Copies of this chain bind each other. A is one copy, B any other.
Amino acid sequence: MDLREALYTTRAMRRVKPDPVPVEVQARLLDAAVRAPSGGNAQGWRFLLVDDKDQIAEIGALYAECIDMLWATVYKDKAAYAESSDDPEAKQFKKIMRSVTWAQENFATYPLLLFAFDQFDASGGSIFPAVWSAMLSARADGVGSSLTSVLAFKNDETLSVLGVPADEGWRMSCCVPFGYPTGTWAVAARRPVHEVSYRNTWGTPVGFEIDEPLWP
């Protein structure tokens, strides 16, 4: 697959089928992950694939609780705004909420989860390139994914389900469910580059405007 096609069309794919993800696809996504750079090339990472149905259901129960906590805290205002407005931003957030609710209700049907752990990586800059490479690799194999850090609300319970030792300094960075999408791949709508980018000093225009995605 062409690099730009992967970069432009790897969106959060929460609605996926229960069909298993072949072991060859799993191997390719992990081998892509470990090729990513990390600070001092320390490779202070561990990857945990979960395909045991009972464990996925247990994680799913925690995920459902965490999402409820998310709507009640971090996204409280945004969720209320989404309910009370019909402007494009509100509509878009309602769409995300419906998709996340689908994940809450169907988590146990996910065929594969990837958990990434890092050690002494305060910024996340030494683990998320690897995670994103895994997601891009899966995309090239037609497998969708979505990254969530929400299980941090139930960190200890999640680590317990996964048998992660408490005393070795491993931090759960995220959970990424994988599966074959029920929908289609498409370029995501985003705020254009010139609205979120500057040149040399904060607030100075970047020097070009990009009104349409540069791919395809």
Contacts and interface: CB of A to CB of B under 8 A. Distances in A.
A39 interface: yes
Contacts of A43: 190-191, 196
Interface string A171-210: 0011000000000000110111100111111110011101
Interface in A1-57: 1-8, 10-12, 23, 26-28, 30-37, 39-41, 43, 45-52, 55
Interface residues of A, number: 88
Contacts of A129: 128-129, 131-132, 135, 147
A6 to B, nearest CB: 5
A140 to B, nearest CB: 5
Nearest to A203: B163
Interface of A: 1-8, 10-12, 23, 26-28, 30-37, 39-41, 43, 45-52, 55, 75, 78, 92-93, 96, 122-125, 127-129, 131-133, 135-137, 139-140, 146-149, 152, 162-165, 173-174, 187-188, 190-193, 196-203, 206-208, 210, 213-215
Given A35-B190, A200-B52, A96 B41 contact: yes
Contacts of A137: 3-4, 7
Given A47-B197, A124-B127, A162-B200, 8 more contacts: A4-B32, A7-B137, A27-B193, A27-B214, A43-B196, A46-B197, A129-B131, A136-B136
A contacts with B: majority SS:
mixed
Nearest to A123: B149
A165 B132 contact: no
